[in-house]
Structure 1
């Protein structure tokens, strides 16, 4: 899996390339990252990549030509490296408020692919003509605005790379993540570790029982309760898709009547 990043700030990606789970996965060759600075594809003294918007208004807009040349260079490099098959270009993805909100399910789908070319916009935005001609997909992290697409791209990379086989020490860690199919899209249950009693607050008894069925039942009940409290929309989504059992519904019914 290879990701090519079109960015004005390549050093930002050292964190995701060199540190933590994603850094270890990169060192083990599970994925690769290449950055392309649009300024390297300019031909003026100031290496200009932005200009004032037509029609007026505040801020500056990223120019189409440096971005286009960066994408074309990335496509050629991917082809030469064997990252993409002839005639099967990688998706060109813009981090943008226009895009579909990134989800765990989307991260799972991305983890089955070969990567992408990610465009990290800056300023007030990107010339629409570049978007129309080159961008095949737009992705958003939510209804808020960042100074640029770099942080969004790093979040996307982390969410995808950690799902690659061999990225985590224990593959079950990803299976039990919040929003995962294993949890029917619900939130994960609370977690505890040593000491058994911390400031007079003990670990819940079922987790100490050693009885796997009791532990699983407790975790499901707490997952349902946590989700119902903080993300009731996820409960409704699981219910609508038929992922809640009769036992789940009884637990939710009993909880609502107690509260």
Structure 2
């Protein structure tokens, strides 16, 4: 079950964290993995992990917020059976203290990044008779999170984008779903806490962990396992759905 043998999978932001876990698992299940990262160096660690395990991986440097490098990467890749829009950035702030430049930066990576990859991948998927798109949304698309204005806006857009693509390409055989994780322990989280809460790292990490009713953050491998299912043929009857992977955050926190 859950074989991806012969599939060509593109994963953005796969240099670390959730993206790396998804890339490694997809490769173990037989997919040829194509990693799109901001720089080639950023994706090499993941590619080497895959190759050392006997898998196949390629790395492409592209700023997903820019159309031309994304188009060039997809032209080099060729056939795409699976697209995972994982690349994303965060920001702390409410509507009053979120500068326009910060809002544009988050929107550029999180929303336009997914849009550019969809624009590059969907025509080929339609021409070949189908494909799978998986978007990484967030619990921020469903509930109010304090001081996450720009990030929440961007993930709400990803949720809506998922529904739109699923509806528009039903007849083309393209499935599109999303995952909405709560807090997942990744190097990104460690860096985020260190940058925004210097001197309070341990306290903030504990607070963030306990905000999930299950009592801890998620693991990247847990997100990857759900991603594998949704991108596999076993999920052929699923499209237009969002899956909270949140340790009970949405339903049990209120």
TM exceeding 0.5: no
RCO comparison, higher one (Cα < 8 Å, 6+): 2
Give the TM-score normalised by structure 1: 0.31
Choose between structure 1 and 2: higher helix proportion: 2
TM-score (norm 2): 0.32
Question: Which has the greater radius of gyration?
Answer: 1
